[in-house]
Chains A and B, each alone.
Chain A
Amino acid sequence: MLQPPTSLERTIRKAQSGDEQAIASLYQGYAQKIYRYIAYRVPPEDAEDLTGEVFVKMVEGLPTYRITEVPFEAWLYRIAAARIADYYRRKKRRVEVELDEQTPEAEAQPEEQLLEQQEIEALREALQQLTPEQQSILILRFVERKSHEEVAAMLQRSVSAVKTIQHRALTHLAQALGTRKESRHYLRGSHD
């Protein structure tokens, strides 16, 4: 899905000159990633809209975007982070901690899907209690499975700063998740 740097750069340059195919291919290459990032940080009903906004902003900003050693996707994540911050400004930081019971229509969904949704909901709520930067780091590290070094490059922080923030963030996340009893054993992998 992701292209080697040179071909990505070529695509970016084409997109900068308005080539629709290039814009579409950038969109297709990053849409799911950006959506995942956003969907862990805002309610599902708004995540899609915000993702769309990110790519509209990308289109608007492309003509002035400069290719540097900072990865292109870092720019997209930055736009996404700004959109999310803006979203919460607009919402006047109305954090709903109350867990909604499933609506009757939700019965139509397969049980497993419901469980998955609940787990994501639980994680999202726990993440909400962290700072935006902590959220970014955890999502990039464990949803996108990026290395400490990659995350540091993307956020333009030092590796040790990333590790320190990660440490604090996971401590908070564990606490936040620990206060909730449901979905304890969702893990696919082996564990003690």
Chain B
Amino acid sequence: MSFEPKILGIACNWCTYTGADLAGTTRLKYPQNLRLIRVMCSSRINPSFIIRGFQLGADGVLVGGCHPGDCHYGTGNLYARRKLAITRKILEFAGMEPGRFRVEWISASEGNKFAEVVGEFTNQVRTLGPQTKFKITKDGQ
């Protein structure tokens, strides 16, 4: 059987999650590898969520938020951008493949973009193969 990656998606309620909703209601097709978690704002994302995601078996993590300047709370995604940028550098320096982590700004009207990004990212992670570096392998975890 070919490898099917598990993708953890963390999406902001106001833009990306609504964009995903739009992709659904307009019946766009995108891979079912994505497990989407909704948060109220991309700045709510603690970088430990991403590390924990990888530890619990995610092969890739996709973070979605509003376009800079479009945040529902004004400036949340501007803080998030700094946090996620440094998270990316930390993952890279620890030895994680940079292709397994991606941040995209997707607005509520961009259902097409959502489907495209998920498709593209899933293919990218599929070519990278299973993520084994951070994954917890011992029993009972």
Q: Do A and B bind each other?
A: no
